[in-house]
């Protein structure tokens, strides 16, 4: 798929998915998975309410039809139909008249961000509430208000989507994202957009590794998947959590728990070679689903490549994290970084110089940059020397890219050329390591 097609596709999909009221269970989540299924053949799984998953149990299913606050004249002053962020996620149903004094303790707003509606949930404590902008809050006067939250909290199921793309080896790369947030774009519609198109790309490409994509509600969904799929964990070599990949900020890579894993070196190589500004942060046990996958009993090397990290942009968990906050170019850039990471994982390996005593004569083999019509560019010629010198069976192509500062794709390209010229042979394919 061409980059332009991907960019347009992500934007079209974002417009379809953004308005849906999602939560950790319920029809909004199901509808989201169904729409993703129109692009990639995910299987949708339903885990019944009450199922024990390690120390947790699947909560009752939450669905909401409508919600509002009316003033004493019967005018709707807060309306769920205008923004699904107006209702605290998992609010229990309520329908009553109450004075402002009583209502006030159920209202959430941010005085420092007077135009934005906060995103608040109460999954495990029975509660109800409304979120509104501080400007809306300030207009409320003493008097009687009618509140109505037409929601249901019933035995049902937690839904998640999974796509397994088999490769030549059974070792897997895991790519996960969460699909439980309502109308919020960067956190984390962006992750679902990126992974949907990445899965499409990987399906079409030839590949060595197998790939597993998860679209789960955050925390409880990841825990449920791990609990139900413990026998699959042994095949997972590396994983990435895709979140906050659509804003215009520079990249942030949250390293794996070990902090020095092979995946960390791959991602840092891609970031460095992109020439774009980026920040590397060490693993910390908060954030997204890397917390579950990197818990001590699971301990998978899970990193997370983001743009601006959750909690670090003022729009985070507010109505200002909308479709204007993300950009098609940023989404595409993030997608390309994920694609480049996969390229390195797929193509790294150890090679051996078959002419190790002094340099081979490159000119004889059409590998030398001659005059006006270079048979290989100057950069490729430099790359050739790096590959020949360090292909001693102890340095992988990634090591050589890191040492030379030359893009991994160029290193791989010249390695292939050297193989054709019988100057190099592959001794270990990393996917077989
Ligand atoms: Zn969030």
332-345 residue pLDDT tens: 999 999 999 999 99
3-59+157-344, CATH topology level: Aminopeptidase (3.40.630)
Contact 192, 179 (CB under 8 A): yes
Q: Which of 183, 206, 202 is nearest to 83 (CA)?
A: 183
**Domain 348-432 of CATH type 1.10.10.10:** yes
Neighbours of 167 (CB within 10 A): 17
Residue 339 phi/psi, 5-degree rounding, is -65, -40
Rg of the chain (C-alpha set):
26
Question: Ligand 1 center to residue 23 CA distance, Å?
Answer: 11
Question: Ligand 1 center to residue 300 CA distance, Å?
Answer: 22
Question: Ligand 1 center to residue 18 CA distance, Å?
Answer: 14
Q: Where in the chain is the domain with CATH 3.50.30.90?
A: 64-154
pLDDT at residue 86 above 70?
A: yes
HSE (side-chain half, CA atoms, 13 Å) at 2: 3
CA 84 to chain centre: 23
Question: Ligand 1 center to residue 303 CA distance, Å?
Answer: 17
64-154, CATH topology level: Glucose Oxidase; domain 1 (3.50.30)
Give the DSSP letter of residue 186. Answer: I
Question: How high is the pLDDT of residue 373?
Answer: 56
Question: How high is the pLDDT of residue 124?
Answer: 94
Mean pLDDT of 283-310: 97
Question: Ligand 1 center to residue 288 CA distance, Å?
Answer: 8
**How far apart, in whole angstroms, are the C-alpha atoms of residue 362 and residue 424?**
13
pLDDT at residue 349 above 90?
A: yes
**Mean pLDDT across the chain:** 96
pLDDT in tens, 366-392: 777 655 555 678 899 999 999 999 999
Question: Ligand 1 center to residue 181 CA distance, Å?
Answer: 7
Percent of all residues in the chain with a pLDDT value above 70, rounded to a whole number: 98
Q: Where in the chain is the domain with CATH 3.40.630.10?
A: 3-59+157-344
Q: Where in the chain is the domain with CATH 1.10.10.10?
A: 348-432
Contact 4, 70 (CB under 8 A): no
Angstrom CA distances, 74 to 78, 220, 269, 329, 416, stand at 12, 39, 60, 45, 74
pLDDT in tens, 110-163: 999 999 999 999 999 999 999 999 999 999 999 999 999 999 999 999 999 999
**How far apart, in whole angstroms, are the C-alpha atoms of residue 296 and residue 339?**
29
Question: Ligand 1 center to residue 51 CA distance, Å?
Answer: 24
């Amino acid at each position: 798929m061409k980059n332009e097609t991907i960019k347009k596709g992500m934007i079209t999909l974002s417009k379809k998915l953004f308005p849906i009221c999602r939560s950790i269970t319920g029809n909004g989540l199901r509808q989201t998975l169904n729409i993703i299924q129109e692009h990639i053949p995910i299987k949708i799984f339903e885990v019944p309410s009450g199922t024990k998953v390690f120390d947790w149990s699947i909560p009752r299913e939450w669905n909401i039809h409508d919600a509002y606050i009316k003033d004493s004249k019967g005018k709707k002053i807060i309306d769920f139909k205008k923004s699904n962020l107006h209702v605290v996620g998992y609010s229990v149903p309520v329908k009553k008249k109450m004075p402002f004094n009583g209502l006030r303790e159920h209202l959430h707003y941010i005085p420092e961000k007077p135009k934005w509606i906060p995103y608040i949930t109460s999954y495990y404590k029975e509660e109800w509430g409304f979120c509104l902008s501080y400007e809306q809050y300030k207009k409320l006067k003493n008097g009687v208000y009618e509140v109505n939250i037409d929601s249901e909290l019933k035995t049902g199921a937690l839904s998640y989507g999974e796509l397994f793309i088999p490769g030549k080896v059974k070792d897997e790369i895991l790519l996960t994202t969460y699909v439980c947030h309502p109308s919020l774009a960067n956190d984390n519609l962006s992750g679902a957009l990126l992974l949907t198109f990445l899965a499409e790309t990987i399906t079409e490409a030839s590949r060595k590794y197998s790939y597993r994509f998860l679209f789960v509600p955050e925390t409880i969904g990841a825990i449920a998947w791990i609990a139900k799929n413990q026998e699959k964990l042994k095949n997972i070599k590396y994983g990435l959590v895709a979140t906050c990949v659509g804003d215009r900020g520079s990249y942030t890579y949250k390293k794996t728990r070990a902090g020095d894993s092979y995946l960390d070196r791959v991602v840092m190589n891609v970031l460095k070679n992109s020439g774009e500004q980026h920040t590397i942060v060490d693993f910390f046990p908060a954030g997204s689903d890397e917390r579950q996958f990197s818990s001590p009993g699971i301990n998978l090397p899970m990193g997370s490549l983001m743009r601006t990290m959750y909690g670090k942009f003022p729009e985070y968990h507010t109505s200002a994290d909308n479709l204007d906050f993300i950009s098609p170019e940023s989404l595409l850039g993030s997608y390309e970084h994920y694609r480049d990471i996969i390229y390195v994982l797929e193509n790294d390996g150890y090679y051996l110089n078959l002419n190790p005593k002094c340099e081979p004569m490159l000119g004889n083999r059409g590998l030398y940059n001659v005059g006006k019509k270079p048979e290989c560019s100057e950069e490729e010629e430099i790359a050739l020397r790096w590959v020949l010198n360090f292909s001693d069976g102890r340095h992988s192509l990634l090591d050589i890219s890191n040492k030379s500062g030359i893009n991994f794709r160029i290193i791989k390209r010249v390695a292939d050329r050297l193989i054709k010229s019988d100057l190099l042979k592959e001794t270990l394919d990393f996917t077989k390591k």
